[in-house]
C-alpha cells in the first residue's frame, strides 16, 4: 500500500496506551503465542481465491515513479507491469484448480480509478467493487466467502531496505506482539480471523526475508533490491513462468497452507521514521511515547489495526514539513508562505466572526463504485 493521501484524514486520540516488551519468538514460522492452523475444509467443491495487489513489488520495475499517479507517463508503465504480473498469477491459480478469482486494489496510487486499466484483467477474473468506501485489509474479511488469499506486487516492511519498503505508508512501521510486520502478514492475520490462509506472494528479495513467519508460502522473487529506490531486475518472462507454476502449486497444496491466528491481547505499536513523526504526542498524558514510537494493548487484531491506523493519521501530519521546505526553496517561496499565513488567519477570523462554515461532506455520485484503495 502507498496511501500518501488517504492516511492524512484519519482521526486519532481515542485510546489509552501501554508500553509492553515482548520477547522475540524462537520459531521463525510464527510469532510468540500465535497459532497456526490448517485451512477450513471446503464444503461446496468450489475454490475461491482473493488476490490483493500492490505495485512496489512488480517484476521488470526499478523506478519508484511507476507506482505514483502523479507521474502519469511512468505510472502508465507501472500499470502495464501490474497487469502482466497479475494475469500470470491468475493463470496459475486457475491451472491449480481455482474456480473463482477476485482481485482487489490494495495500492493507493492516487488514481481515483483502479490501478488495473479497464478490460486488461484476465478474462476469467473479476475486480472487487462495492457501493461505498471500504478498507480492503479488514472490511472484506467474512467467513465462507474465500478459501485462500494471494498477494502480488508486495513490498518489504519499513527498515528492511527493500525496493520502496514501507508498511502502509511512508515512514511507518507496524509492530504486533514484539515484531515488525509487513502488509502481507497484516493480511494473513486479518484473514486468519475467519480461517483463510495466504498461499502465494510475490515481491523483492527483502520481502522474502521478511516473511520468515510464513514459510509455507509459495513465494516468487521478482527482483533484488539494491536500495529503497533501485533494484536489479530478473528476466520478466522467467518470473512470469515461475509465477504461474508457484500459483498453481499453491492452490494444489492448499491443505498444507497455514492460517495465522494472532495471540491476544495484542501488544501493538507504531514506530515511525522520516518523513513521518509522532513527536507531537510526546507530552500527551496517558500516551506511552518513546523515541517516535507509541505502544498500546488491544483486545484483538481489529482493535490493534484500528489503533495503528489512527496513529498513522497522526504521524503523517509531519509530511507537510517537506512541503514547507520545498516551498521555501523556491524564488517565490517567502511570498507563498506569506499568502498561506494570511489565508490561515482569515479562515480563523472568518469562522470566529460567523462569516465562514465548513462545507458539508460531499456525497458520492450516484452509481459510483469503490475499489478499495480509492
For residue 267, being part of any structural domain is answered with no
At residue 367, the pLDDT reads: 81
For residue 110, being part of any structural domain is answered with yes
CA dist 92 → 85, 87, 200, 273, 372 (Å)? 11, 9, 11, 38, 24
> β-pairing, 100-105 with 48-53?
parallel
User: What residue ranges of the chain have pLDDT lower than 70?
Assistant: 2-33
Buried b (16+ CB within 10 A) or exposed e, 97-132: ebebbebbbbbbbbbeebbbeeeebbeebebbeeee
For residue 342, being part of any structural domain is answered with no
> What CATH number is associated with residue 62?
3.40.50.10780
How many domains in the chain? 1
pLDDT per position as a tens digit, 80-121: 999 999 999 999 999 999 999 999 999 988 888 999 999 999
For residue 218, being part of any structural domain is answered with yes
Which structural domain, as residue segments, surrounds residue 249? 6-261
Triad 367, 372, 374: Cα angle to 5°: 70
At residue 366, the pLDDT reads: 80
Triad 298, 206, 172: Cα angle to 5°: 40
For residue 234, being part of any structural domain is answered with yes
Amino acid at each position: 500500500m502507498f496511501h500518501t493521501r488517504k492516511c492524512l484524514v484519519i482521526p486519532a486520540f481515542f485510546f489509552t496506551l501501554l508500553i509492553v516488551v515482548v520477547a522475540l519468538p524462537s520459531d521463525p514460522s510464527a510469532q510468540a503465542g500465535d497459532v497456526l492452523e490448517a485451512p477450513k475444509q471446503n464444503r461446496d467443491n468450489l475454490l475461491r481465491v482473493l488476490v490483493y495487489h500492490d505495485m512496489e513489488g512488480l517484476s521488470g520495475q526499478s523506478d519508484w515513479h511507476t507506482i505514483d499517479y502523479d507521474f502519469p507517463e511512468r505510472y502508465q508503465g507501472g500499470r502495464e507491469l501490474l497487469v502482466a504480473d497479475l494475469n500470470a498469477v491468475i493463470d496459475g491459480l486457475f491451472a491449480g484448480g481455482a474456480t473463482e478469482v477476485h482481485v482487489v486494489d490494495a495500492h493507493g496510487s492516487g488514481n481515483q480509478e483502479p490501478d488495473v486499466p479497464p478490460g486488461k484483467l484476465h478474462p476469467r477474473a473479476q475486480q472487487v467493487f462495492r457501493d461505498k468506501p471500504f478498507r480492503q485489509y479488514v472490511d472484506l474479511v467474512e467467513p465462507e466467502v474465500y478459501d485462500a488469499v494471494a498477494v502480488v506486487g508486495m513490498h518489504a516492511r519499513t527498515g528492511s531496505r527493500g525496493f520502496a519498503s514501507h508498511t502502509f505508508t511512508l515512514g511507518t512501521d507496524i509492530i504486533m506482539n514484539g515484531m515488525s510486520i509487513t502488509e502481507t502478514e497484516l493480511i494473513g492475520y486479518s484473514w486468519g480471523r475467519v480461517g483463510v490462509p495466504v498461499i502465494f506472494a510475490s515481491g523483492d528479495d527483502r520481502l522474502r526475508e521478511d516473511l520468515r513467519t510464513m514459510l509455507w508460502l509459495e513465494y516468487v522473487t521478482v527482483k533484488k533490491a539494491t536500495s529503497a529506490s533501485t533494484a536489479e531486475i530478473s528476466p520478466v518472462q522467467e518470473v512470469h513462468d515461475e509465477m504461474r507454476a508457484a500459483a498453481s502449486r499453491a492452490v494444489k497444496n492448499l491443505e498444507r497452507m497455514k492460517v495465522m491466528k494472532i495471540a491476544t491481547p495484542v501488544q501493538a505499536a507504531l514506530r515511525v521514521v522520516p518523513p513521518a513523526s509522532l513527536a507531537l504526542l510526546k507530552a500527551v498524558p496517558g500516551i506511552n511515547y518513546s523515541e517516535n514510537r507509541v505502544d498500546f494493548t488491544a483486545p484483538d487484531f481489529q482493535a490493534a489495526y484500528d489503533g495503528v491506523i489512527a496513529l498513522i493519521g497522526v504521524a503523517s501530519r509531519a509530511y507537510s514539513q517537506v512541503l514547507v521546505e520545498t516551498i521555501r526553496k523556491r524564488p517565490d517561496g517567502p511570498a507563498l508562505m506569506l499568502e498561506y499565513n494570511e489565508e490561515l488567519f482569515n479562515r480563523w477570523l472568518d469562522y470566529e466572526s460567523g462569516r465562514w462554515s465548513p462545507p458539508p461532506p460531499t456525497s458520492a455520485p450516484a452509481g459510483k463504485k469503490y475499489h478499495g484503495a480509492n
